[in-house]
Amino acid sequence: MTTEESLRRAVEFHNAGQLQQAGELYQAILQSDPRHAVANHNMGRLAVEMNEPGAALPFLETALDVDPARAQFWLTYIDALDRAGQQEDARKILALARQQGLEGEQVELLEARIATGVSGTTDNGNPAPADIHLLSALFNQRHFSEAEALAQSLTRHFPAFGPAWRTLGAVLHQRGANSEALEVLQTALTLMPRDAMSYFFLGNALSALEQLWESVVAYRKAVEFNPDFAEAYHNLGASLQDLRRHQEAEDCFRRSLEINPNNPDAWRNLANVLKDLGRLAEAMDCCRRGLAIAPQDAVLHQTLATQLAHLSDFRQVVAESDTALSLNPESRDIWEQRLYTLSYHPDLSAPQIFAEFVRWGERYPAPASDFSTHDRTPGRRLRVGFVSPDFRRHTSRFYFWPMFSNHDHSVVEMFAYSNVLNEDEATSTFKTMFDHWRNIRGVSDQDAARMIRADRIDILVDGCNHMQDDRLGIFALKPAPIQVTWLGAAWTTGLKQIDYVLFDPHIAPAGTLSTECIVRLPHCFVAYQPEREPAVAPTPAMRNGYITFGYSGRSERLNHHTFRIWAEIMHRMPNSKLILDYRIFSDPRTQIHYRDFMRGQGIDPERVVMRRSADILEGLSEIDVLLDCFPHSGGTMLIDALWMGVPCLTLTGRPPLGRIGTTFLTNLGMTDWIATSYDDYIKKAVALTHDVAALNAIRANLRTRMKASPLMDGKRFAHDVEVAYREMYKTWIARE
């Protein structure tokens, strides 16, 4: 090994408490280079830790002679003099060091310890108070390397001293060694079974390892033994939120804020859990409370931008997001939320939005990928890997299943790279559809990329895009020769390392912007497979005597343009009503926001029912016509409605996100329901509902029509995708 490699290994041994191995390597370095400053210093430090401070002095004196500018060398030398009983020399050297600019809390602590004449151990077998104080100071000042070294020393010399084990566990967690931290913190709790702080650090390590239920147990112990432990309540809330125990999480965040109302992180997390509970107006208030405390909190600015978008109010979304990015331009979370919210912005053009995706992608330089030894045999079975966090009870399953269950495994060998946080019964179903299952949750991008290379994947498919829990960082490393994105956010990723995106001619006509090469499947870019088949009810106008329009999708897809056009439709049909059926519309405070918002766009709120149906498919039985949103079309909302026989009116907008409804209805053969302008949308809404009997007949036959369409032909869809894979592979061989 080179000197640098030997020193690195020695330090690793030293930090792990393997002092003999560390000492042998330090000695080897000093044999070839007797005046190596760091090796001399570390050899002296090792001697101090082995209770041989006198033996440490020659090494430390050499280190100082070689590099007198290193403050830590002075501190270690003065500490060794004191421990060797040479207090007078320690005082003199400390005074000399102060004259040369040595200062800080460690200096003050050393001076206080030397002045008392107390070092080493106390009568009760614990470390000296000054060492205990120093350990605490190093940790609190985030000098984690020094804190770890001191904690290692104290646990060796005072193995019954619990606080040293606790601090060692905490610093191991800080440097990502969470598995090691667990064992150390269990030792701390054996010595201090009612120590709230040890339980808190244990919860942190368990949370980092995504052992969420175990972290909940640890945090609950922390607050049991310290009922005023604000940070423990906060972290308990975060674990519960990840477990989708939203109401319990809210209670924890509120308790944390009762104790410490000045924690902006708690306000932000409370806002997020309130959003998950559908209480958007309260969530926005929490963002503003947090920003009043921390106006430079970048993530809070982006969280506010996201909350405003979810409230369909885009007036300040760009400004808040721009502020967030200016404060923290490298934040992954800010970028992901920014791209998501801007995709829905009604007043930005497709080129403006696309430019932000490109800007994000340019942050990832092209890796040095070498596929010169990759198998290029024409016509062979392809190894296809699929990366997703949504192999679970997520709406993506309705589109995943018809493809995965119909793949020809003699043509493709399927590998799943699952990033699922909480597996469920749907995950078990997914596992039966793949030849190989890999769990990459908690695995770094680099390690996951190595796994994919080891599996010799030909085509790696992203099934998430920029949605929650994406793993685009893996794709940025280019672990497979051919990389594809599909579904997810249904647009570009912005990554040049992804070669293709799967669309169709209707969702992505000529001119559609994408950093990936667009592959147009011949029919639809998805196939649909429902879980159940409830009876189709007659159109409700038959019994009501008036038309009920409806919307049952996410609120960020709505905006002032949508409500203004809907207002005109309702003006032309004065007896009609509108149902808004989604989680957020059941919240009283959010309802107040939307009443004011709709009134400002010309809709009488008294003609609008806001609710959340316990079963959305049953809720659709009360809607005559579903009104699609724009400029971003709905997705599963439209499929659900069509499945229940409900006609859908869509507006062809900016591709591809504004043409999801266009491709669904084209593949269904119902192009009369596709509008090409605002005026056309209004006219078609009036015309479609003019004949209630005809509307009812459409409803009765729509499901049969849907079953016979490409929308539900999973076998043909899977075959089309396999043909696309084969063409990609042929192209790659030819290019290479």
pLDDT of residue 21: 87
Digit-coded pLDDT (tens) for 427-449: 999 999 999 999 999 899 999 99
Distance of alpha carbon 568 from alpha carbon 686, whole angstroms: 10
Whether pLDDT at 656 is above 60: yes
What is the CATH number assigned to the segment(s) 382-520? 3.40.50.11380
Supply the mean pLDDT for the chain. Answer: 94
pLDDT at residue number 116: 59
**pLDDT tens, residue by residue, 383-421:** 999 999 999 999 999 999 999 999 999 999 999 999 999
DSSP reduced 3-state for 271: helix
78 or 709, which is more confident?
709
**Quick one: average pLDDT of 111-115?**
73
CATH 1.25.40.10 maps onto the chain at 1-119
Mean predicted confidence (pLDDT) in 635-664: 97
Q: What tens digit of pLDDT does each residue of 599-628 get? A: 999 999 999 999 999 999 999 999 999 999
- pLDDT tens, position by position, 199-246: 999 999 999 999 999 999 999 999 999 999 999 999 999 999 999 999
Which residues have a Cβ under 8 Å from the Cβ of 702 and sit 6 or more positions away? 536, 642, 645, 646, 647
Per cent of the chain over pLDDT 70 is 98
Distance between CA atoms of residues 204 and 222, nearest Å: 11
The CATH topology of domain 541-712 is Rossmann fold (3.40.50)
Q: How many CA atoms lie within 13 A of 210 on its CB side?
A: 11
pLDDT digit string (tens) for 527-547?
999 999 999 999 999 999 999
E strand map for 440-485: 459-462, 482-485
| Domain spanning 1-119, CATH class | mainly alpha
What local confidence, expressed as pLDDT, does residue 105 receive? 65
The confidence score (pLDDT) of residue 72 equals 86
Q: Where in the chain is the domain with CATH 3.40.50.11380?
A: 382-520
pLDDT at 125 over 70: no
Of the CA atoms within 13 Å of residue 543, those in its CB half-sphere come to 7
Residues sharing a CB contact under 8 Å with residue 54, sequence separation 6 or more, in sequence order: 84
- pLDDT for residue 75: 87
Q: Please, is 620 exposed, middle or buried when counting C-beta atoms within 10 Å of its C-beta (0-12, 13-18, 19+)?
A: buried
**Cα torsion for 715, 716, 718, 720, to the nearest 10°?**
170
Q: Where in the chain is the domain with CATH 3.40.50.2000?
A: 541-712
- Kindly report the number of other CB atoms within 10 A of residue 352's CB atom: 12
User: Cα–Cα distance between 212 and 214 in angstroms, integer?
Assistant: 5
Spell 671-690 as b/e; 16+ CB within 10 A means b.
eebbbeeeeebbebbeebbe
Pick the range with the lowest mean pLDDT from 46-60, 491-505, 554-568: 46-60
Q: Given 3-state DSSP classes, what are the helix, strand and coil percentages for the chain, each rounded to the nearest 5?
A: 60, 10, 35
Tell me what pLDDT residue 119 has: 56
CB 577 within 8 A of CB 549: yes
By the 8 A CB rule, do 570 and 546 touch? Answer: no
pLDDT of residue 328: 96
Measured between alpha carbons, how far is 102 from 70 in angstroms, rounded to an integer? 10
**pLDDT attached to residue 15:** 72
Output the pLDDT for position 122: 47
H-helix or E-strand spanning residue 588: helix 588-600
Please spell the DSSP secondary structure of 424-450, one letter per residue.
-HHHHHHHTT-SEEEE-TT--HHHHHH
pLDDT at 12: 80
CB 717 within 8 A of CB 403: yes
